Structure 1
Amino acid sequence: MYSDTPQVESIQAWNSPLFVSSNPDHEFLKEDLLNYIYRYQQTQQQAIASEVAVNAKHQLFESKLCFLEAEEPAVMELRRMLEELLSAVATEVNAPYWPEGAEGDAQIIESWFHVTHNGGYHDIHSHPNCSWCGIYYLDPGECELGSRNGVNRFYDPRNNADHYGDPGTAYLSQQGYWDFEPVEGQIVIFPSYLKHSALPYFGAKDRVVVAFNAVIDLV
């Protein structure tokens, strides 16, 4: 006697988790952070002070990779909040794989700001030598999802996931990317291997973000 339907176990493999949060003190810190960023920008000798991937960036200013190390009250408070958030994210994702009761302790090892002017963009890239990365939208200017103006685009890490399409591959979305609309005060956290870009931004206001890379230790 044959059974009608064989049992099937679903295995969700190779997920890429992204997290979205917001800075609860954004309104309190925003002006101090912006003022400090613009003062810092005036001291830069070149547009891309980090000297990293200079040709991948256009019409934007990038600080050196130690922005959140500044002994400026608003910057110090932002770093504290971001490291707490990163610690919570890493703990949630890795809890099934860590010793029982272990917690993550995040340390931001690189951080920088971008001030993007009209027509600016950042080509596709990823962030090596860290486990988690993030973007804090301090002032998204005139970014808008519908027109893809200044959005951050994350690319499907599954190589060749879109090499063929029929109704059986609808779950893949057959898009190959995911666009994230910059919203003031929001923070997006993502694994370092995810390739992403900042699409061209057009607007009279600057698009200002703070980005960061972190490593995680166990407590």
Structure 2
Amino acid sequence: MIDSESTQPIHIEQLDVWTTPLFVTQLADHEFLKDALLEQVYAQKSQQQEAIASHVAPTAKHALHESTLDFLDCDDATVMETKRQLEELILEVASNLNQLHWPDDAQAQAHIIESWYHVTQQGGYHDAHSHPNCSWCGIYYLEPGDASQADVGGMNRFYDPRVNAEQYADPGTAYLGGQGVWDFTPVEGQIILFPSYLKHSALPYFGQKDRVVIAFNSIIELY
């Protein structure tokens, strides 16, 4: 028989499953690297025969220039140092998340396997997409232009991967956020790292200055 007079507290354990980690940081040497990186970006841009040199999903992009997918492989000291610092950040994130799942004696290394720049001009955008064939992706805001100002756009929007999370809404689902998206306002020198499955877009940008980012895809290997 259940004692209806019992005052024993009920223990309910909360399990937060299927979370999606994103990481935001600042490139340590951004101030020293920025000008030389921009010089490399614009030098390559001036040689492009077409706006989307990568030939990847050109109809999903408007009013922007995209390089081939090897920008950070350029034989330039500043570019190589930038790649080294980015790979260090990726490795730190991946190690912190996965250390318990790796063999005790494993040595990990991060490799940026694809990298490119976007130079976005007034009215430019990139439709929603994800990045296959890699584990971690990143966006480095080299020169956000006017994107930090109100009402000029240029934000990166990330979409809730729980596709059915908001099929029904009442007060019991208020914790879901009510919109299914997370908008990130570009800040100069910042880097956002995110898992490759996470769908995202670059919202239309209406600033006067160029919005310049370096994006990259990476893999992790154990030795």
- What is the TM-score when the length of structure 2 is the normalising length? 0.94
Instruction: Label 1:211 to 1:114 Cα distance change in 2 as closer, same or farther (>3 A).
Output: same
Residue 7 of structure 1: CA displacement?
1.6
Give CA deviations for 1:148-188 in whole Å, capped at 9, x if unaligned.
Answer: 61000000000111111111111111110000010000000
Structure 2 counterpart of 1:130: 134
User: In structure 1, which of residues 165, 172, 187 is the aligned counterpart of residue 169 of structure 2?
Assistant: 165
- What is the TM-score when the length of structure 1 is the normalising length? 0.96
* SS in structure 2 at match of 1:33: helix
User: In structure 2, which of residues 57, 60, 81 is the aligned counterpart of residue 56 of structure 1?
Assistant: 60
Structure 1 counterpart of 2:47: 43
Given the alignment of the two structures, is residue 100 of structure 1 paired with residue 104 of structure 2, yes or no?
yes
User: In structure 2, which of residues 200, 207, 210 is the aligned counterpart of residue 206 of structure 1?
Assistant: 210
Q: Which AA in structure 2 matches 1:65?
A: L
Residue 24 of structure 1: CA displacement?
1.1
Given the alignment of the two structures, is residue 197 of structure 1 paired with residue 195 of structure 2, yes or no?
no
Which structure 1 segments of 5+ residues have no match?
none
User: In structure 2, which of residues 166, 180, 186 is the aligned counterpart of residue 182 of structure 1?
Assistant: 186
Structure number with larger C-alpha Rg: 2
Q: Which AA in structure 2 matches 1:138?
A: L
Structure 1 counterpart of 2:71: 67
Residue 3 of structure 1: CA displacement?
5.7
Q: Which AA in structure 1 matches 2:97?
A: V
* SS in structure 2 at match of 1:93: helix
Instruction: Label 1:3 to 1:97 Cα distance change in 2 as closer, same or farther (>3 A).
Output: farther
Q: Which AA in structure 1 matches 2:167?
A: H
* SS in structure 2 at match of 1:194: coil
* SS in structure 1 at match of 2:104: coil
Inter-partner Cα distance in structure 2 for 1:101 and 1:162 = 43
User: In structure 1, which of residues 15, 20, 23 is the aligned counterpart of residue 27 of structure 2?
Assistant: 23
Are 2:152 and 2:206, in contact at CA under 8 Å, matched by a contact in 1?
no
Inter-partner Cα distance in structure 2 for 1:78 and 1:29 = 7
Given the alignment of the two structures, is residue 154 of structure 1 paired with residue 143 of structure 2, yes or no?
no
Deviates more, 1:146-155 or 1:179-188: 146-155
Inter-partner Cα distance in structure 2 for 1:106 and 1:71 = 19
User: In structure 1, which of residues 6, 12, 16 is the aligned counterpart of residue 16 of structure 2?
Assistant: 12
Q: Percent identity?
A: 59
* SS in structure 2 at match of 1:179: strand
Q: Which AA in structure 1 matches 2:15?
A: I
Residue 101 of structure 1: CA displacement?
5.5
Are 2:52 and 2:67, in contact at CA under 8 Å, matched by a contact in 1?
yes
* SS in structure 2 at match of 1:74: helix
Residue 145 of structure 1: CA displacement?
6.6
